[in-house]
């Protein structure tokens, strides 16, 4: 078995990203992995980019002077390589969810989205009914196209291993006839905080923060704990937090050791995104909020009093 892994193009800016390591970690137990990247140039020795257990090949496609390929070009390139692979895999991100279903349709092969667990090379577990149930799906034929929720998979080990083969593809740039064009690109500034998709501790805020600027409380608590920052859809829709922080069925699916939800009511779509959390803490003035009912620890309090007090307590040295 051999898997073609298609990382999000933006990950190339940080090739040691834990999200890419988790993609490799999900598929390496089932066989060899090849990574497909688009680049103007690529060092033949691969540098630090090649030290994941299970990766035996890098496939480097010349971009032809274009820095942002449209989805159609990715689809055509993946389809052209598909015959060499049993599985084609990407993250369940905007990129993966746009490109891989088109690949599956072109190949007339199975497409399984949002996979949380792999039982065997042809059997996969994914959430259904807004995360209230899990379906076990068996896919026949090869290649199988998969998008993965990365929080459920451990990252691959970084090891000293023989240099994987670097395969350069120099075919001319494929022409996108779809009429789609890139209007703008908004980079995600990660700063010093952990990545939301793989963080061990997440602090999230909701619509209960009410006004712009109040989300700074959430960020202050997260920075005190060394945690990632998340948000409910209500907070994102109210422009209290950026879309990149959204947790839930239409955002990140996370599985941290500790999740702290502040001012979040807990709509079913949000709860679907935190089901994998080992410990859930909720702070809300409404004891009947759904998140308060499912939390391991629930604090009924005014968040504007509770959160600053919590930050002060965390910063106070023990006696």
d(CA 182, CA 243): 19
DSSP 176-222: --S------------TTSPPTTT-SEEEEE-GGG-STTTTHHHHHHH
pLDDT tens-digit profile of 224-254?
Answer: 999 999 999 999 999 899 888 999 888 888 8
Return the pLDDT at 46: 47
Longest CA–CA separation in the chain, Å: 68
Return the pLDDT at 186: 60
**17 and 159, same domain (yes or no):** yes
**160 and 213, same domain (yes or no):** no
Neighbours of 56 (CB within 10 A): 16
**125 and 231, same domain (yes or no):** no
pLDDT tens-digit profile of 50-59?
Answer: 567 888 888 8
Which residues in the chain land under pLDDT 70? 10-17, 40-51, 63-68, 130-131, 160-163, 170-182, 184-191, 211-212
**64 and 161, same domain (yes or no):** yes
- Give 131-139 contacts, CB < 8 A, sequence gap 24+: 131/249, 131/268, 131/269, 131/271, 131/272, 131/273, 131/275, 132/268, 132/272, 137/112, 139/110, 139/112
180 belongs to a structural domain: no
Return the pLDDT at 48: 45
**165 and 21, same domain (yes or no):** yes
**217 and 288, same domain (yes or no):** yes
Domain range enclosing 232:
201-315
Q: Edge-to-edge, what's the strand order for the sheet holding 201-205?
A: 228-231, 201-205, 258-262, 279-284, 297-300
**58 and 161, same domain (yes or no):** yes
Q: What is the CATH number of the domain that holds 275?
A: 3.40.50.1220
**147 and 287, same domain (yes or no):** no
Return the pLDDT at 159: 73
Pick from 120, 81, 76: which is nearest to 99 by CA?
Answer: 76
């Amino acid at each position: 078995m051999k898997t073609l892994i298609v990382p999000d193009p933006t990950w190339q800016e940080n090739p040691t990203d834990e999200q890419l390591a988790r993609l490799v970690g999900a598929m390496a137990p089932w066989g060899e992995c090849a990574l497909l990247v688009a680049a103007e140039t690529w060092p033949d020795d691969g540098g630090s980019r090649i030290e994941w257990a299970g990766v035996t090949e890098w496939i480097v496609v010349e971009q032809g002077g274009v820095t942002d390929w449209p989805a159609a070009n990715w689809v055509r390139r993946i389809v052209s390589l598909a015959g060499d692979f049993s599985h084609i895999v990407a993250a369940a991100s905007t990129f993966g969810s746009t490109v891989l279903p088109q690949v599956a349709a072109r190949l007339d092969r199975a497409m399984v989205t949002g996979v949380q667990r792999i039982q065997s090379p042809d059997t996969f577990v994914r959430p259904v009914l807004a995360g209230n149930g899990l379906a076990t799906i068996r896919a026949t034929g090869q290649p199988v196209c998969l998008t993965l929720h990365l929080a459920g998979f451990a990252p691959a080990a970084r090891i000293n291993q023989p240099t994987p083969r670097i395969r350069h593809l120099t075919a001319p740039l494929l022409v996108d006839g779809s009429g789609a064009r890139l209007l703008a690109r908004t980079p995600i500034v990660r700063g010093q905080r952990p990545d939301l998709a793989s963080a061990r501790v997440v602090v999230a805020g909701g619509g209960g923060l009410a006004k712009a600027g109040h989300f700074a409380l959430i960020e202050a608590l997260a920075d005190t704990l060394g945690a990632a920052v998340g948000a409910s859809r209500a907070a994102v829709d109210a422009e209290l937090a950026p879309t990149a922080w959204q947790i839930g069925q239409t955002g990140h699916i996370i599985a941290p050791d500790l999740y702290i939800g502040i001012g979040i009511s807990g709509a079913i779509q949000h709860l679907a995104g935190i089901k994998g959390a080992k410990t859930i803490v909720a702070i809300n003035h409404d004891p009947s909020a759904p998140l308060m009912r499912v939390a391991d620890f629930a604090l009924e309090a005014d968040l504007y009093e509770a959160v600053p007090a919590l930050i002060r307590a965390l910063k106070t040295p023990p006696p």
